[in-house]
């Protein structure tokens, strides 16, 4: 018995378009909250010996020293304070920040960072380049291993997943830093993994029964793979939630990006890929084993 996945394909398409629209609108109008890695700037994180009620006192101190353009907040508990000055700061700003704080508080320095503006700029370029390169190589690989219709489907799925992850980060104003970029690239790897497993089964079934109707065949393939798809997503999500809950601040956003990505990737390998295949009229002939291969097949 097959689950009729494709019955809901129009609904799924609408959902995807809605999500993509929200993502793109948010990216255009709200922008990404780029982390220090990309903007350059100074970051100081300290752990105070006593808890603070609020940050007004520190704010007053910074204003007094004419340090402006800063972002001040608690990171975690009431005694963990993080101060960020994005943009054209230089390393001496970190020093003066520390000196101001040292004069007034007792604390443990947790982390201090200075990133020059040229580094941030380069990273933005490299990150974009990395994403494009990954997409391109994937497309070529799938075209070579499968067929161009699958490549189109896979690229749609990847763009869909990346846009949704990045869009959600923009929508909820979550810091997008270097580790999140790594997570987005890992999402590409994961989503592609899923897409290939599903495509692989569709291809196999097309080659087995030439006369079957396309939609029924895709439904059957998806039903066969459902158990595997769910279990793999589930185990991956299990460890990701472990990372999110116990991994600490440093990999929190990384885990969030991957969780969104894994859910989107699982969904897109079903609906985006198959929708693309159906609308491009995939047929058994597209996947027929070439003559030379058929001779070696040895099947009766």
Task: Please state the closest distance from residue 188 (CB atom) to other proteins, in A.
Answer: 5
Task: Please state the closest distance from residue 66 (CB atom) to other proteins, in A.
Answer: 10
Residue owning tokens 């793999």:
232
Between strands 80-86 and 71-74, the pairing is antiparallel
Task: Please state the closest distance from residue 74 (CB atom) to other proteins, in A.
Answer: 16
Burial 46-77 (b: 16+ CB within 10 A, else e): bebeeebeeeeebeebbeeeebeebeeeeeee
Residue 101 near residue 46, CB atoms below 8 Å: yes
Nearer to other proteins by C-beta: 152 or 225? Answer: 225
Nearer to other proteins by C-beta: 210 or 228? Answer: 228
Nearer to other proteins by C-beta: 166 or 258? Answer: 258
Nearer to other proteins by C-beta: 246 or 295? Answer: 246
Task: Please state the closest distance from residue 4 (CB atom) to other proteins, in A.
Answer: 20
To the nearest 10 degrees (0 to 180), the angle between helices 214-246 and 178-208 is: 150
CB neighbours of 136 closer than 8 A, spacing ≥ 6?
none
Nearer to other proteins by C-beta: 190 or 271? Answer: 190
**What gap in Å lies between CA 152 and CA 67, rounded to an integer?**
51
Task: Please state the closest distance from residue 174 (CB atom) to other proteins, in A.
Answer: 17
Task: Please state the closest distance from residue 237 (CB atom) to other proteins, in A.
Answer: 8
Task: Please state the closest distance from residue 259 (CB atom) to other proteins, in A.
Answer: 11
Task: Please state the closest distance from residue 2 (CB atom) to other proteins, in A.
Answer: 14
**What gap in Å lies between CA 147 and CA 155, rounded to an integer?**
13
List Cα–Cα distances, 246 to 181, 233, 242, 252, in angstroms.
21, 20, 6, 9
Nearer to other proteins by C-beta: 234 or 288? Answer: 234
Nearer to other proteins by C-beta: 24 or 178? Answer: 178
Q: Whole-angstrom distance between the N-terminal and C-terminal Cα of the chain?
A: 28
**What gap in Å lies between CA 83 and CA 110, rounded to an integer?**
12
Residue 107 near residue 49, CB atoms below 8 Å: yes
CB neighbours of 152 closer than 8 A, spacing ≥ 6?
276, 280
Nearer to other proteins by C-beta: 13 or 98? Answer: 98
């Amino acid at each position: 018995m097959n689950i009729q996945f494709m019955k809901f394909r129009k609904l799924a398409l609408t959902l995807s378009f809605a999500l993509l629209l929200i993502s793109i609108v948010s990216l255009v109008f709200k922008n990404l909250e780029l982390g220090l890695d990309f903007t350059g700037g100074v970051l100081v994180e300290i752990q105070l010996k006593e808890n603070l009620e609020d940050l007004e006192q520190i704010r007053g101190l910074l204003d007094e020293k004419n340090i402006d353009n800063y972002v001040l907040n608690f990171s975690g508990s009431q005694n963990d304070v993080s101060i960020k000055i994005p943009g054209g700061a230089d390393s001496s700003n970190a020093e003066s920040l520390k000196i101001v704080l040292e004069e007034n508080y007792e604390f443990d320095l947790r982390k201090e960072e200075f990133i020059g503006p040229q580094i941030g700029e380069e990273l933005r370029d490299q990150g974009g380049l990395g994403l494009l390169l990954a997409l391109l190589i994937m497309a070529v690989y799938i075209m070579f291993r499968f067929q161009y219709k699958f490549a189109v489907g896979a690229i749609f799925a990847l763009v869909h997943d990346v846009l949704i992850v990045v869009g959600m980060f923009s929508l909820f104003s979550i810091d997008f830093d270097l580790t999140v970029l790594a997570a987005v690239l890992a999402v590409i790897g994961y989503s592609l993994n899923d897409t290939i497993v599903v495509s692989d089964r569709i291809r196999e079934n097309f080659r087995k029964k030439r006369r079957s109707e396309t939609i029924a065949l895709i439904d059957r393939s998806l039903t066969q793979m459902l158990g595997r798809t769910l279990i793999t997503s589930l185990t991956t999500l299990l460890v990701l939630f472990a990372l999110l809950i116990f991994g600490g601040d440093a990999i929190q956003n990384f885990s969030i990006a991957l969780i969104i990505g894994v859910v989107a990737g699982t969904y897109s390998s079903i609906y985006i890929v198959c929708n693309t295949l159906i609308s491009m009229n995939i047929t058994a002939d597209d996947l027929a084993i070439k003559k030379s291969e058929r001779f070696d097949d040895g099947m009766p």
